[in-house]
Amino acid sequence: MGLKFNKKQQYAWNILTTSGKTRILFDGGSRSGKTALIVEYLVRRALQYPGSRQLAARKCRSHAKTSLWEDTIKGYLRKFIPAHLFRYNESELSIIFSNSSRIIIGGLDDADRTEKILGNEYITVYLNEATQLSYQSMQMAITRLSQNAFDRKKRKAVPKLVMDCNPRGPRHWLHFVGVRHIDPESGNVLPDKEKWARVNFSAYDNKENLPPEYLISLESLPQIMKERMLSGVWRDNEGAVYDEFDEDTHVIPPFPIPEEWQKIRAIDFGYTNAFVCLWGAIDHDGRLYIYRELYKSRERTRVLAQEIKTLSGKEKYMTTVADHDAQERAELEEAGIITKGADKKVIMGIQAVKNRLAKQENGKCGIYFFNDLKNLLSEIYDYKWLPADSSRNAKEEPLKLNDHAMDALRYMVMALEKKEKSSTFRSITTSIHTDGRWK
C-alpha cells in the first residue's frame, strides 16, 4: 500500500531505488509531488531494513515540525501504515517502527541539536528544501551515512542522500552540485559524479493531485516566480533593483499584528495607474512588516479614502505619508486621513529599502512582507534598473513601469528613516542635558 504515483514520480522512484545512484536531487515546482514521494521512500526503507535510521531534516526545526512532521509524514502514516506498526515520540520528533527502525525529523539551525542529530549514523538522509542549507551542512550530513543495516535476505542497505528544493538562481551551490555535478568551491567535476542523479519536476507533473485553482494561481505569478514555482526552472532575478529580495527570507505568512507595535501608512496616488496604500508595523527590534495593501486603478480618491478607513479599523498610526498631489491629499484630509508629504528621493529611497532587505549577522532582516500582498510582491519582481546607455550609468534609474507599490514602499521606509534619525538626535540631546560633562 502506498501512493499511486504520477508518471514523474514513477520515473523518480526508479532512480531512488537504483543502487548506483546514492546522491539524489529532486528540484522543481511548488507542490509538484517531490516531498510526498520521498516520505514514502523513507517509510519503505524503515520497513525494509530493521533497526535502520532515516533522517529527515531542513533548516529550521520549527518548519520541520510543521511541514514535514505534522503535515506530511503523519498524514502518510495515518493513511497507509497500520497503526500497530509504529509509534510517535513527540518530544524527539521521531517515529519508531515495530522493527526498531526510526525516522527522525530535525532542524539544522541549532548547534547543540545538530550535533546530537549528526552524532547518529543513518542509512538515509533526506534534506528538505535543501537550498536553504549551506554546502557545508550537506557535506556534513553525507558523513553520517554510515549505518550498517540489512534486510531480511541479509542484503546490506545502500546509504542514500536525497534532497529536494524549489529552484533558485543558477549560481546557487545546489545548482552546481545537484544539477551540474560540479564542486562549487573548486569548479571541478565532482569526483563521485556517477553517484549523482537529478529529477526536475514541474507542478503540472502533479496535476492529478492538485486543485485546479492552485495551478491557475501559479500561472498568474510574476514571470520569474512562475518559472521557478510552476515550471521548476533555475532563474536569476537579473537586473532587479531589489536583487537581495528573497521569497524564502522576506515573505512570511500573515500573523495578527500586536496592538502596541507602531504603525505607519504610505500612499501613492493614481487613477489610470494604480492607487496604492501600504500598511506597515514595527516590532520591538525595529523590523518593519508590510502587512496590508490597497491597490486599485480607476477609482475616485474619495471612495478610496473610505476603503482605507474601513481597512484601518481602530488602528492608530504614527504617520501617513503620501505623494505630493495637493488636490488628492486635500480629499483624503476631508475624509479624516491626514497625510505628510513623502520624501521622494528615488535613489536614496531605494538604498534605504535595500538596507532593510539585507541580512544582518543574526540572519534577520529589517523588512518582511506578508505573503498575501499579491500586487506588492509582483512589483518587487518586476522592478528593474534601466540599462546603461550614453546618458546614464547602470543602476542609476529604475524602469518606471508597474512601480506604484514600489513608490509607496520607498515613501514608508524613508519616513521611518527620518523618524529614526530624529529620535537618535533626541536621545543624544537628552544625554547632553543629563550628563554634566557634555554641557
Cα separation of 104 and 95, whole Å? 7
- Judged by CB under 5 A, does residue 35 bind Mg ion? yes
SS (H, E, C) 361-412: CCCCCCEEEECCCHHHHHHHHHCEECCCECCECCCCCECCCCCHHHHHHHHH
Among 6, 52, 202, 378, interactor with ligand ADP by CB under 6 A: 6
Q: C-alpha 190: how far from its chain's center?
A: 29
Shortest Cβ distance from residue 157 to ligand ADP (Å)? 24
Instruction: Give the residue from 334, 212, 208, 337 showing the smallest Cα distance to 267.
Output: 337
Shortest Cβ distance from residue 73 to ligand ADP (Å)? 11
Question: Under rule CB under 6 A, which residues in 121-180 are in contact with ligand ADP?
Answer: 164
**C-alpha separations of 96 from 40, 67, 75, 86, 91 in Å:** 15, 19, 16, 6, 13
Among 16, 25, 36, 197, interactor with ligand ADP by CB under 6 A: 36
**C-alpha separations of 107 from 56, 133, 170 in Å:** 9, 10, 25
* Strands (E) located in 82-129: 86-89, 94-97, 102-107, 124-127
Shortest Cβ distance from residue 53 to Mg ion (Å)? 22
Instruction: Find the part of the chain contacting ligand ADP (CB under 6 A) among 28-36, 256-264, 270-278, 429-437.
Output: 28-36
- Judged by CB under 6 A, does residue 200 bind ligand ADP? no
Q: Cβ closer to ligand ADP: 3 or 142?
A: 3
- Judged by CB under 6 A, does residue 198 bind ligand ADP? no
Question: Under rule CB under 6 A, which residues in 255-294 are in contact with ligand ADP?
Answer: none
Instruction: Find the part of the chain contacting ligand ADP (CB under 6 A) among 34-42, 217-225, 252-260, 418-426.
Output: 34-42
Question: Under rule CB under 6 A, which residues in 204-223 are in contact with ligand ADP?
Answer: 206, 209
Residue 232's binding partner out of ligand ADP, Mg ion, none, with CB under 5 to 8 Å set by partner kind: none
Shortest Cβ distance from residue 92 to Mg ion (Å)? 22
**C-alpha separations of 113 from 26, 57, 103, 106, 429 in Å:** 26, 11, 16, 8, 46
Residue closest to Mg ion (Cβ): 35
Grid cell 536525497 in the structure block, residue: 162
Strand partners, 385: 398
Instruction: Give the residue from 325, 333, 349, 431 showing the smallest Cα distance to 397.
Output: 349
Shortest Cβ distance from residue 102 to ligand ADP (Å)? 22
Q: Cβ closer to Mg ion: 122 or 201?
A: 201
- CB burial of residue 358 (10 Å; 0-12, 13-18, 19+): exposed
Q: Cβ closer to Mg ion: 64 or 288?
A: 64
Q: Cβ closer to ligand ADP: 1 or 326?
A: 1
Shortest Cβ distance from residue 78 to ligand ADP (Å)? 12
Shortest Cβ distance from residue 393 to Mg ion (Å)? 42
Contact 340, 321 (CB under 8 A): yes
Among 8, 21, 23, 34, interactor with ligand ADP by CB under 6 A: 34
Cα separation of 123 and 42, whole Å? 10
Q: Report the first-to-last Cα separation within the chain, whole angstroms.
A: 81
Q: Cβ closer to ligand ADP: 2 or 50?
A: 2
* Strands (E) located in 67-167: 86-89, 94-97, 102-107, 124-127, 160-165
Instruction: Find the part of the chain contacting Mg ion (CB under 5 A) among 1-9, 33-41, 86-94, 171-179.
Output: 33-41
Shortest Cβ distance from residue 164 to Mg ion (Å)? 6
Among 16, 27, 35, 245, interactor with ligand ADP by CB under 6 A: 35
Binding mask 372-411 for ligand ADP (x = CB under 6 A): ----------------------------------------
Shortest Cβ distance from residue 27 to Mg ion (Å)? 11
Instruction: Give the residue from 104, 162, 161, 107 showing the smallest Cα distance to 132.
Output: 107
Q: Cβ closer to ligand ADP: 73 or 95?
A: 73
Residues lying near Mg ion in the complex (CB under 5 A): 35
Residues lying near ligand ADP in the complex (CB under 6 A): 3-6, 9, 30-36, 164, 206, 209
